[in-house]
Amino acid sequence: MLVLGIESSCDETAAAVVDGGAVLSDLVAGQDEIHGPFGGVVPELAARSHMERTAPLIREALSRAGVEAADIEGVAATAGPGLMVCLLVGLSAAKGFAFGLGLPLAGVNHLEGHLNAVFVDPDAKKPGYPFAGLIVSGGHTSLYLVKSPGEYEHLGSTLDDAAGEAFDKTAKILGLPYPGGREIEALAAKGDETAIAFPRPLLDRPDHDFSFSGLKTAVVNYWDKTGRRAGQRADVAASFQAAAVEVLVEKTLKAARANSVDQVVVSGGVAANKRLRAGFDARGRAEGIEAIFPSIRLCTDNAVMIAHVGERLLSGGRNDGLGLGPRSSWPLAPKKK
Ligand code: KG4
Ligand code: ZN
């Protein structure tokens, strides 16, 4: 089924066309240069940029896919969770397109998109069901048991900051630009990750929740207490990264073991981190659990994953209609007790 997908939940405007699980086009317009000076995403500015970019991006996505608007058979757009003003833009564009051409419309859960990105990635190994799915981004840190296509069990989430947020805040403390994940990774490569024993929050708890605000506070306190010495920045970055990675890896592997699965799929912007990938690979190998990562382009926000989930929903007869509204919060599944 030829599906147009639109993503606008945060600070990436994206449009893609898929057909039968194949990617025909994949466009993403980022906004780092808009939000960088503010040290974080400014929703109003993000929405304005989505307004300017969505229509041209849709046109370009159709053109690169080599199809006409009239060829499209269904429209999928992220309906949540995300920033309301941002979701509204992409969803309104999707509604206009669907209404104009008399097409069915599917509102897709952004988290479901991330969990399924691996299935539409031509370069990634496909996991078997059930598998554990970890989403680590600037807005989310959540762990799911993916039982079958479209069937999810929520195992755990962060109780405070998302993992990417912790990278971004640590970067800010160390005077690095936003977004800080990549900057921390580059700086950490020059430091000693055993230099400072930062806490590993909730590592010993039996549940599958995460917490990163205490780790961030430990970095602030250490940095202030030791006089903010420039010569120490790389060690702080490396030690922070090692602590964050250890918690993500060990808690995810523990959840996989507890649910008797031997594959974990890691997605979201933080999944671009090489130290995280190496940690999952090494510890997973030792535990007999395989870690699978979508390519970096499909780890970060994109419309391919939205179009892909949309194709499954639309093929099953789904049509959310023009009354569909955005949802800032949209749990994918109730949390397992
Ligand atoms: O998935 P994403 O593009 O957007 C959402 O938040 O939904 O993720 C962005 C987050 C930011 O917090 C960014 O700092 C982090 O992913 N990130 C990284 C790396 N690349 C991006 N964190 C750690 N290491 C990286 N290499
Ligand atoms: Zn995302």
Model confidence over 237-287: pLDDT tens digits? 999 999 999 999 999 999 999 999 999 999 999 999 999 999 999 999 999
Distance 111 CA to ligand 2 centre (A): 7
Query: Which ligand neighbours the alpha carbon of 186 most closely?
Result: 1
Please name which of 33, 75, 81 lies closest in space to residue 54, comparing C-alpha atoms: 75
Percent of the chain residues past pLDDT 90, beyond the cut? 98
Backbone angle region of 104, left / alpha / beta, with phi > 0 → left and psi within -120 to 50 → alpha = beta
Rounded mean pLDDT, 136-141: 96
Helix axes 43-65, 84-101, angle to 10 degrees: 30
Contacts of 154 (CB under 8 A, 6+ apart): 142, 143, 144, 331, 332, 333, 334, 335, 336
Helix axes 233-258, 163-173, angle to 10 degrees: 170
The H-assigned helical ranges of the chain are 32-35, 43-65, 84-101, 110-116, 163-173, 181-188, 213-225, 233-258, 274-287, 296-299, 304-315
DSSP 37-82: GGTS--HHHHHHHHHHHHHHHHHHHHHHHT--GGG--EEEEEEESS
**Whole-number mean pLDDT of the chain?**
97
Return the SS3 of 150: coil
CB 183 less than 6 A from any atom of ligand 1: no
| Nearest atom within ligand 1 for CA of residue 180 | 14
Rounded mean pLDDT, 150-166: 97
- Tens-digit pLDDT profile for residues 88-99: 999 999 999 999
| Nearest atom within ligand 1 for CA of residue 11 | 4
Rounded mean pLDDT, 292-316: 97
Angle at CA 126, nearest 5°, toward 316 and 60?
Answer: 65
Supply the residue whose CA is at minimum distance from atom 14 of ligand 1: 181
How far apart CA 85 and CA 53 sit, in angstroms, is 15
| Nearest atom within ligand 1 for CA of residue 165 | 12
Specify the pLDDT at position 21. Answer: 94
Please name which of 169, 151, 156, 252 lies closest in space to residue 213, comparing C-alpha atoms: 169
CB 113 less than 6 A from any atom of ligand 1: no
- The dihedrals phi and psi of 47, each to the nearest 5 degrees, come to -65, -40
Band (pLDDT 50/70/90 cuts) for residue 221 is: very high
pLDDT surpasses 90 at 214: yes
CB 82 less than 6 A from any atom of ligand 1: no
Distance 331 CA to ligand 2 centre (A): 14
Band (pLDDT 50/70/90 cuts) for residue 334 is: confident
How far apart CA 141 and CA 136 sit, in angstroms, is 5
Percent of the chain residues past pLDDT 70, beyond the cut? 99
CB 279 less than 6 A from any atom of ligand 1: no
Distance 108 CA to ligand 2 centre (A): 12
CB 104 less than 6 A from any atom of ligand 1: no
How far apart CA 203 and CA 14 sit, in angstroms, is 36
Band (pLDDT 50/70/90 cuts) for residue 25 is: very high
- Tens-digit pLDDT profile for residues 61-113: 999 999 999 999 999 999 999 999 999 999 999 999 999 999 999 999 999 99
Specify the pLDDT at position 337. Answer: 65
How far apart CA 108 and CA 310 sit, in angstroms, is 6
CB 167 less than 6 A from any atom of ligand 1: yes
Supply the residue whose CA is at minimum distance from atom 8 of ligand 1: 269
Supply the residue whose CA is at minimum distance from atom 2 of ligand 1: 269
CB 61 less than 6 A from any atom of ligand 1: no
Are 310 and 75 in contact, with CB atoms under 8 Å apart? yes
Specify the pLDDT at position 335. Answer: 78
| Nearest atom within ligand 1 for CA of residue 164 | 12
pLDDT surpasses 80 at 19: yes
Distance 233 CA to ligand 2 centre (A): 29
CB 9 less than 6 A from any atom of ligand 1: no
